[in-house]
Homo-oligomer: A and B are copies of this chain.
Amino acid sequence: MSKKLTSRSEDYSKWYNELVVKADLAENSAVRGCMVIKPYGFAIWEKMQAELDKMFKETGHQNAYFPLFVPKSLFEAEEKNAEGFAKECAIVTHYRLQNDPDKKGKLRVDPEAKLEEELIVRPTSEAIIWNTYRGWIQSYRDLPLLINQWANVVRWEMRTRLFLRTAEFLWQEGHTAHATKQEALAEAELMNNVYATFAEKFMAIPVIQGLKTESERFAGADETYCIEALMQDGKALQAGTSHFLGQNFAKAFDVKFANKEGKQDYVWATSWGVSTRLMGALIMTHSDDHGLVLPPSLAPNQVVIVPIYKSEDDLNAITEVANGILRNLREKHITVKFDSRTTHRPGAKFAQHELQGVPLRIAIGARDLANGTVEIARRDTLTKKVVALEDLTEKIEGLLEEIQASLFNKALDFRDNHITEVDTFDEFKKVLETKTGFISAHWDGTNETEDKIKALTKATIRCIPLEGDVKEGVCVYTGNPSKRRVLFAKAY
């Protein structure tokens, strides 16, 4: 492959940017801030989608599709939401191009073709969806309404980074309607739990579940649940959010239902989403200076087999052994590729699969043929061993499970070693300068203090954890009373 990666210690940010491109995950496009997700990157996203989609359906949700565009007047109906997204929208103002008959193929906008009402390219779909739900919900029999959408959304961000922050990104957005506040709150919690389970079980990323402070909440939400992860550079990353929207959207869009007693009431709402940003979290949690490291659960190829041969005869014999391995592994639903390309030497193949994070690499050479062995290399530990062909399937199954668990535990250890309790503001600032990670500290509960700490340190309150220490104390900044510790960090 091309030149070596920049190391993490040298320049973490540069390491990330290079890795995304060199591992063939994504690249910048000709459109400012919009990315191209390349086939290898998209294959990982597809695996994530498939697992999440299954989890959504198992919890009773159905998929649907709503328009890309939102008429401006609808977008403005819920004021807080409109205000929150006001500074990052792309706007369609014209609907049609005219040919200039003199210059074939050259287009110009006809000034007559201005839309009567401007259209916002959806940054999120609450407005268009709640405007639709008004027609779908009349009675308690229509509730709960549990819908999810897989879609592209656009937020015209000024500073973008592949996967982490792009002007267009892919995501899913759940939008549910309920008869009671309790049900809606339970739904918001349930889906935050689904996200946590997905992050830990499939992405091997330990997350902390919590609530956002008022200033960090989704615009238009009464409460925002979140999952927060810690990257290797000690910065936090918000990996998913689930919002209890109260009756805000129901009131804005006049969505009422007749309850069992026949009385009219506004419905209660939630929305929840994760995006291609998760790809950034996945990359940054596990990868190393050699390239991508993928948990087996999400690797497009869990195993790759590379033949090492000098003669056509050797290749034929190796192919025969490889085909047997392929058959056995596929029977166990292990994804495996036989890399028999003749255009690349084994060394180049090794380098590519290492860079692209294939969890297990099997090499088969002439000596292996003679001995009835293969060489297995683990991507996460960069260790190799020669093993007998006997029970190879079971060995590989075991190794894949071991890698999945090991990646999670390694990330968990790192995360747990980077949560520092502090009781003074001096300690607070010192941790940010030296160790980074999460800072567990008391806070007086006011926006004002939160803002001041942010202005002084760039650290924000990532969440008020749902679990853990709930002892009272005094605010690390003001000394005022505090009900419990919250988690601060610098964040992506």
- Which residues of A pack against B, CB within 8 Å? 27, 29-31, 34-39, 42-43, 45-46, 62-72, 74-76, 79-80, 82-83, 86-99, 104-107, 109, 118-121, 128, 131-132, 135, 141, 147, 151-152, 154, 156, 168, 170, 343
Cβ A35 vs Cβ B92 within 8 A = no
**Residue among B46, B62, B68, B95 making CB contact with A39, cutoff 8 Å:** B62
Cβ B91 vs Cβ A92 within 8 A = yes
Can you report 6 residue pairs joining A to B where beta carbons are below 8 Å apart? A42-B62, A67-B168, A79-B105, A82-B107, A87-B97, A95-B156
Other than the given A36-B66, A37-B64, 19 more pairs (CB < 8 A) read A27-B135, A29-B67, A30-B67, A30-B132, A31-B70, A31-B71, A34-B69, A36-B65, A39-B63, A42-B64, A68-B152, A86-B107, A87-B97, A87-B98, A89-B95, A91-B92, A93-B93, A93-B109, A121-B121
Number of copies: 2
Task: Report the nearest B residue to A120, measured CB to CB.
Answer: B97
Given contacts A68-B168, A147-B39, contact A91 B89 (CB under 8 A): no
Q: How far, in Å, is A128 (CB) from chain B's closest CB?
A: 7
Cβ A98 vs Cβ B69 within 8 A = no
Cβ A31 vs Cβ B65 within 8 A = no
Chain B residues near A83 (CB, 8 Å)? 99, 104-105
Cβ A64 vs Cβ B79 within 8 A = no
Q: How far, in Å, is A65 (CB) from chain B's closest CB?
A: 4
Chain B residues near A42 (CB, 8 Å)? 62-65
Cβ A131 vs Cβ B74 within 8 A = no
Cβ B170 vs Cβ A36 within 8 A = no
A72 CA to B30 CA in the complex, in Å?
11
Chain B residues near A90 (CB, 8 Å)? 69, 92, 94-95, 119
A29 CA to B80 CA in the complex, in Å?
23
A109 CA to B27 CA in the complex, in Å?
31
A82 CA to B108 CA in the complex, in Å?
11
Task: Report the nearest B residue to A127, measured CB to CB.
Answer: B30
- In this complex, the member of A87, A90, A96 whose beta carbon has the largest number of chain B beta carbons within 10 angstroms is A90
Given contacts A29-B67, A42-B65, A69-B168, contact A93 B94 (CB under 8 A): yes
Cβ B76 vs Cβ A105 within 8 A = yes
Cβ A87 vs Cβ B96 within 8 A = yes
Chain B residues near A109 (CB, 8 Å)? 91, 93, 118
A66 CA to B38 CA in the complex, in Å?
8
Cβ B94 vs Cβ A91 within 8 A = yes
Q: How far, in Å, is A382 (CB) from chain B's closest CB?
A: 28
Task: Report the nearest B residue to A344, measured CB to CB.
Answer: B141
**Residue among B63, B82, B95, B120 making CB contact with A105, cutoff 8 Å:** B82
A58 CA to B41 CA in the complex, in Å?
19
A109 CA to B156 CA in the complex, in Å?
14
Q: How far, in Å, is A471 (CB) from chain B's closest CB?
A: 39
Q: How far, in Å, is A1 (CB) from chain B's closest CB?
A: 14
Task: Report the nearest B residue to A114, measured CB to CB.
Answer: B93
Chain B residues near A152 (CB, 8 Å)? 68, 151-152
A31 CA to B90 CA in the complex, in Å?
16
A79 CA to B107 CA in the complex, in Å?
10
Q: How far, in Å, is A21 (CB) from chain B's closest CB?
A: 11
Given contacts A62-B42, A64-B37, contact A105 B87 (CB under 8 A): no
Cβ B128 vs Cβ A31 within 8 A = yes
Given contacts A83-B99, A121-B92, A132-B29, contact A39 B67 (CB under 8 A): no
Q: How far, in Å, is A335 (CB) from chain B's closest CB?
A: 12
Task: Report the nearest B residue to A81, measured CB to CB.
Answer: B105
A267 CA to B283 CA in the complex, in Å?
34
Given contacts A97-B86, A128-B31, A152-B68, contact A76 B107 (CB under 8 A): yes
Chain B residues near A82 (CB, 8 Å)? 105-107
A135 CA to B24 CA in the complex, in Å?
12
Chain B residues near A95 (CB, 8 Å)? 89-91, 156
Q: How far, in Å, is A109 (CB) from chain B's closest CB?
A: 6
Given contacts A80-B105, A82-B105, A105-B82, contact A66 B96 (CB under 8 A): no
A35 CA to B104 CA in the complex, in Å?
33
Given contacts A71-B31, A92-B90, contact A63 B76 (CB under 8 A): no
- In this complex, the member of A65, A106, A151 whose beta carbon has the largest number of chain B beta carbons within 10 angstroms is A65
Q: How far, in Å, is A40 (CB) from chain B's closest CB?
A: 8
Task: Report the nearest B residue to A121, measured CB to CB.
Answer: B92
**Residue among B31, B72, B88, B135 making CB contact with A96, cutoff 8 Å:** B88
A30 CA to B69 CA in the complex, in Å?
9
Chain B residues near A75 (CB, 8 Å)? 107
